[in-house]
Amino acid sequence: MIATTGLVDFHCHLDLYPDHALVVREADAAGVFTLAVTTTPQAWPRNQELAQCTKHVRAALGLHPQLVAEREDEIELWDQHLVETHYVGEVGLDAGPRFFKSLDAQKRVFRRVLERCAQAGGKIISVHSIRSAKAVLDLVEAHLPPERGKIVLHWFTGTKTEAKRALELGCYFSVNARMLDNERHAAMVQAIPLNRMLTETDGPFTRTGDKPSRPADVAHVVEVLGRLRGLSADDVANLVRGNLRALLG
């Protein structure tokens, strides 16, 4: 296993582990640049408080599309906190069977997120796009000019054609181990240029061995990605680190 120092976990739900503060400290001690995404703006203050004490963890301000049916009115609270952060997530759309009924509300929320980020400028946005890649990209194209913010498509499962369109819009992609284990998704990952790729765990929603993945487990993603692309794990780690620097601009 490669050293964790300098690795990137660009999408992890640190506040959904039972030991939130401990997992933040662990990520920081491991030297893994970790984006702690949130699912509701009510979670933002505590995530920001813990991340501010670290060198490597950053908190992102989110309103998860799967929660929009019950929490659409929290977009006002999200709006109030936006000035406090460079990072936004998890936001986006989910048109899967469980959440399709709220898709119109999700689109209202995501459009508002993109418009406010465009007004503010300089935000980096981690975006969910389950069964909704075209709709996500349509909204991004309409409401977030590339010079006003950056999109990172988290756990992207769209088609190669949709991935190509996302690249043309300036998007990056954060890739996790579950994607690389799936033949169809791995083929799509193969088509993404290495200079637009980041790594993630999406812990605790993925597992490494028999436990929920933690940020240091992103080392496994780096190694599998290296095998897929014919590169050493160290080369992949260096590429991803360079991509993060480019993203942060």
Q: What is the 3-state secondary structure (H, E, C) of the chain?
A: CCCCCCCEEEEECHHHCCCHHHHHHHHHHHCCEEEECCCCHHHHHHHHHHHCCCCCEEECECCCHHHHHHHHHHHHHHHHHHHHCCEEEEEEEECCCCCHHHHHHHHHHHHHHHHHHHHHCCEEEEEEEECCHHHHHHHHHHHCCHHHEEEEEECCCCCHHHHHHHHHCCCEEEECHHHHHCHHHHHHHHHCCHHHEEECCCCCCCEECCEECCHHHHHHHHHHHHHHHCCCHHHHHHHHHHHHHHHHC
> Domain locations in the chain?
8-248
101 in Cβ contact with 69 (< 8 Å): yes
| Res 182: pLDDT | 87
**Whole-number percent of the chain with pLDDT over 90:** 96
pLDDT at 113: 98
Q: Residue 202: name the closest of 138, 127, 148, 123 by CA.
A: 127
pLDDT at res. 161: 95
Confidence at residue 168, expressed as pLDDT on a 0 to 100 scale: 97
Q: Which residues pair with 12 in a beta bridge?
A: 36
Q: Are 58 and 94 in contact (CB under 8 A)?
A: no
Q: What is the pLDDT of residue 184?
A: 86
Model confidence over 14-65: pLDDT tens digits? Answer: 999 999 999 999 999 999 999 999 999 999 999 999 999 999 999 999 999 9
Cα(74)–Cα(121) distance, integer angstroms:
21
Kindly report, residue by residue over 136-148, the tens digit of the pLDDT. Answer: 999 999 999 999 9
Whether pTM > 0.85 for this model: the answer is yes
Pick the CATH number of 8-248 from 2.40.50.140, 3.20.20.140, 3.40.50.300, 3.90.1720.10: 3.20.20.140
Interior CA angle at 137 toward 101 and 179, to 5°? Answer: 80
The label of the residue with tokens 């019950």 reads: 70
What gap in Å lies between CA 143 and CA 31, rounded to an integer?
Answer: 35
pLDDT (tens, 9 = 90+) of the chain, 249 residues, equals 799 999 999 999 999 999 999 999 999 999 999 999 999 999 999 999 999 999 999 999 999 999 999 999 999 999 999 999 999 999 999 999 999 999 999 999 999 999 999 999 999 999 999 999 999 999 999 999 999 999 999 999 999 999 999 999 999 999 999 999 988 888 889 999 999 999 999 999 999 999 999 999 999 999 999 999 999 999 999 999 999 999 998
